[in-house]
Structure 1
């Protein structure tokens, strides 16, 4: 399902990752991070896909909301565990969405 976002402008955080073979609670932590993010002021919605490369995009109302989420204690612990165990590499990009378009074949 394509995430429902408000009219632009809003912000997107694009998290692209390459996983290690280590699981050690990865799925549960990923679910918990989405649950926690959804509770943060300014969070809009998230989309995620995983194959050889994982891509998760979360949408936010402001840069301040993104920074608040980045500093969340539990998110910080998960990020540190990701660096130690779950990821060979990851990259985070923060973008301002100025326009969006939707096509649905009904």
Structure 2
């Protein structure tokens, strides 16, 4: 698996999810893997980049805002969000940005 997502020519959207974890990590890695598998199946999903250390940052890329909305409201994703808020995240923030330019 590549660490840097392959994305199309802009514009597209990025969802930036930053978090710090509680001391309870049981089940977190398995749920993260499950969400990745599910995201890969979602229409409009373009890719993801993630680093999980003291501060976890996951950036997922999407074709349009409608695709992001559909992912946020996916029933399995809603269950994972609820567990995250109740069990795994000490703090979190989600940001949505439009990517207008990228280069290598």
How many residue pairs end up in the alignment? 102
- Cross-structure match for 1:58: 60
Which runs of no fewer than 5 residues in structure 2 stay unpaired? none
Matches within 5 A, 1:16-95: 16-95=18-97
CA distance in 1 between partners of 2:55 and 2:61 (Å): 20
Taking structure 2 as the reference length, the TM-score comes to 0.96
Shift of the alpha carbon at 1:51? 1.4
Cα RMSD of the aligned pairs, angstroms, is 0.6
Q: Residue by residue, what CA displacement relative to the aligned partner does 1:57-96 show, whole Å, maximum 9, x if unpaired? A: 0000000000000000010010000011100000000000
Report the CA distance between 1:47 and its aligned residue.
Answer: 0.5
Secondary structure, counterpart of 2:13 in structure 1: strand
Name the larger-Rg structure.
Answer: 1
5+ residue gaps, structure 1, are: none
CA distance in 2: counterparts of 1:34 and 1:80, whole angstroms: 17
- TM-score, with structure 1 as normaliser: 0.94
